[in-house]
Amino acid sequence: MTKISQYTPITSLVNGDLIDTSQDSGGGIYATKSIDFQDLQSSIFYNRTENGATIQEVRTATDLPSVLIANTTYVIIGEVTISTSINVTNDGCAIVGLDRNKDILNYSGTGTFLTITDVNFTLRNLQIKGTGVGSTILSATNFTIGVSANNYGRTKVLTLFSCEFRNCVNFGTILGFELVDINNSLFWYITGTTGIQFQDVRHLEISSCEVFNWFDESTGLIYSTAKMIELLANGVDNVGFAVVNINGCIVHPEQTQDGLTMNALSTTIFGTISANTFINVGLTTGILFDVDYDIQNSTIIQANQGIQNGNAKISMQLSDNANRLQTITGDPSQSNPIIFKGTNMVTGAFTNAITFPISQRMIGTISDCSFTYDTKIEGNFLINVNMVLLHTNGADTLATVQLRRNGVDMVDGYYQAQLKDDAEFPLAFSVLTTASISTPDVFDFEMSVRGKAPPYALDNIKDVTVVSLVVNAYQF
């Protein structure tokens, strides 16, 4: 039987305090031993095995092996400086702290600190520094090149939760993984050329993180030149990202730094970038949000401070056109109705070409006077049409402007105007619909002219001129 001898009342204990214990060795003889309070804590809380997992206390660099042991959680106590690299090749490992402001791993070596290969791994409640010259915090890989099984071997999970990466040179690159989950973490005072890079991650989730102050903390003079958050071009198997969710983060690049970059050769099947704050204070030649909305057309970009939404939108304009529609009733080579485009003018072209001064996630085609929905996100779609028509050389007539989708007349997508001879007639109408890229949806106009009285026979469409046209269409 072991008992704690208390000679005076104990109100508190700190590391270094000794506790006297006595053990009955038989026959009424007791052996006495003093135990350091710190050692007692460690024996109770750490250096033990529960549910097949070992909890290992780390107070010095020698407590961390160069290759982490499988199913072991290493608990950092206080600040530990280490100069040697660590390989994580055994599954079920984690390095954690109790308080990221107090529990710190300071890597003073060169090269890469943590190399993680094809395993599940967690960093939690921990501050990591990388003060060694040219050092990189981590390189993590879970990807099998050339083998499509199991989504190219992406079966592992990498978790960075409630961590602080502070006073580092470079962060590093994460390749592959079933899930990379980064939450409630700070990335600041980074000075190198490599930021937080991702490639071919199946599911990437970054939430409630702060990425800012990428300069030397001690002097404030040495600025990183890195892209802060960077989705790299697809790798050799052209796999890309299946899902990317980035939300609730603060991203603040300065000087030449880029905030968030999606490489033009990077693909994402389902993406959402929302409710983030992008700050451009102190930014000179860097780019706050380096994403081509037209290329990354499957990513929802919505409700972020500092950058525009990713809604599809287009403006199509025609001005000062003096050329009439060419169709003549009764001519078997022509038709009435007729598609509204330049080649169907009497002269074979508009006086001034159709223009598309605004276009995002839409494709405007000058030759067809059409616009194509080019975002993989199906949504509500509003089309506003403003047109001025002119009728000459004949009696009053009834003109119909019909909006079409994929060559089919849209219900309620038309406007009828009674045109008087030698008079301009302004008209305007709107159509609320939905749009999808699955077909994809292509919108254009058809025009027809009929007599103004029954039986409303087809009339000479050649006497009608579209003087001007403005179409504004947008997804919401």
Per-residue pLDDT, averaged over 88-94, amounts to: 97
**Residue 375 burial (10 A CB sphere; 0-12, 13-18, 19+):** buried
What does the domain layout of the chain look like in residue ranges? 1-40, 46-302, 313-475
Which CATH class, in words, describes the domain spanning 313-475?
A: mainly beta
pLDDT digits (tens, 9 = 90+) for 100-125: 999 999 999 999 999 999 999 999 99
pLDDT, position 3: 45
**Whole-number average pLDDT of the chain:** 89
Cα dist. 27→4, 5, 21, 23 in Å?
19, 19, 18, 12
pLDDT score recorded for residue 333:
41
Mean pLDDT of 374-385: 95
Q: So what's the pLDDT on residue 34? A: 61
When pLDDT is averaged across residues 187-210 and rounded to a whole number, the result is 98
462-475 residue pLDDT tens? 578 999 999 999 99
pLDDT in tens, 331-375: 434 457 889 999 999 889 999 999 999 999 999 999 999 999 999
Give the per-residue pLDDT at 1. Answer: 42
Q: What is the pLDDT of residue 398?
A: 84
| Residue 339, pLDDT score | 92
Instruction: Report the candidate in 455, 322, 323 with the shortest Cα–Cα distance to residue 398.
Output: 455
Contacts of 75-80 with CB under 8 Å at 24 or more apart are 75/46, 76/103, 76/104, 76/105, 76/126, 77/103, 78/102, 78/103, 78/104, 79/103, 79/104, 79/106, 80/104, 80/105, 80/106
* pTM recorded for the entire structure: 0.84
The whole-number pLDDT of residue 25 equals 57
Question: Is the CB of residue 260 less than 8 Å from the CB of residue 228?
Answer: yes
Residue 10, pLDDT score: 58
Q: Which pLDDT score is estimated for 47?
A: 74
State the pLDDT at residue 229: 98
| 2 pLDDT more than 50 | no
> Tell me, what's the pLDDT at 330?
47
Tokens of 357: 């001064």
- Which residues pair with residue 50 across a beta bridge? 53
46 vs 312: which has the higher pLDDT: 312
CA distance 184 to 200: 23
**Rounded Cα distance, 92 and 22, in Å:** 39
**Residue 337: cis peptide before it, omega within 30 degrees of 0:** yes
HSE on the CB side for 102, CA within 13 Å?
Answer: 6
| Per-residue pLDDT at 397 | 80
Confidence at 456, pLDDT banded by 50, 70, 90: low
DSSP state for residue 396 in the 8-state scheme: -
Sorting pLDDT into bands at 50, 70 and 90, what band is 450? confident
Over residues 407-429, the pLDDT tens digits come to 999 998 999 888 888 889 999 99
Percentage of the chain surpassing pLDDT 70?
Answer: 85
Q: According to the model, what pLDDT value does residue 205 have?
A: 98
26 or 290, greater pLDDT: 290
Q: What is the pLDDT of residue 326?
A: 75
pLDDT band of 15, cuts 50, 70, 90: low
* pLDDT for the residue numbered 46: 65
Tokens of 466: 């579209």
pLDDT of residue 310: 96
Rounded Cα distance, 399 and 413, in Å: 14
> Looking at residues 210-224, what average pLDDT do you find?
97
